[in-house]
Amino acid sequence: MKTNYVIETFGLQDKVVIITGGNTGLGQAYSDAMAQSGAKLFITCYDKTGVEEMQNLYDQNGWEVAFAFGDLTNPQIQDEIIAKCLKKYKRIDILVNNSGTISRNPILEGTDAEWNKVIDINMNVVYRLSREVSKIFKKQGGGKIINIASMLSFQGGKFVPSYTASKHGVAGLTKAFANELAEFNINVNAIAPGYIETKNTAPIRADVKRNSEILTRIPANRWGKPSDVAATCVFLASKASDYCNGFVFAVDGGWLAR
């Protein structure tokens, strides 16, 4: 019987994926790419932004999706999301820790509240949700966790100390989880997006001077597209990444190579 290598190796047919914050920005790009690859999605959302439009798009294309709403910093909400996903799909195969936030302030003007909020959303949620889902993966015989890191998992940046610390933490958690869980057939990796064309980066791209400075630093001499990052997410969710463990994949056009 003939098989299609690409579909067998890179496809996600009937895989169940939890994606946090999968209804906006790059999160939606990850969701769309996985749905097109055959996955069944369970998307967590802080609010209903874009959800109706997304549901209509998925219905039109015959893609299976369910949504859950709530503040992920609440452990009870995390547990409810896991339970709801299991109730609907009976299993979980992939977790994409995409939800995040950022606060911009010079270090000397920062507050404890600001720091705690960013660390809680960007790192503590990743730790606890990954821990709880990994218990299910172990019982099932395996699974995949994809964390969303950042260029600031490698660099210091300016005016975003809480974000930088949290993304360094995500990179560290990726390696720590991978080291302990690989023996259970659980792959844990991360993606570090570079400068990507999104609504959030539109003001920077519109600034001629700043845009030129960025492009000069990027060997590829262009901004990344959401599809560039989403393709890496599909790879890490697929069978093709079965021997990848504890690595942070930079999708940055060569930014970190400079």
User: Active-site residues: which are they?
Assistant: 163
Is the distance from CB of 244 to CB of 236 less than 8 angstroms? Answer: yes
The Cα diameter of the chain in Å comes to 66
> In the structure encoding, which two tokens stand for residue 102, read together?
């950022």
Which residues on adjacent β-strands are paired with residue 16?
40
Question: Phi, psi (5° rounding) for residue 68?
Answer: -135, 145
Is the distance from CB of 128 to CB of 75 less than 8 angstroms? Answer: yes
Residues contacting residue 131 through CB under 8 Å, at least 6 positions apart: none
CA 188 to chain centre: 12
> In the structure encoding, which two tokens stand for residue 174, read together?
């990726």
Task: Give which of 200, 196, 176, 198 is closest to 188, Cα–Cα.
Answer: 176
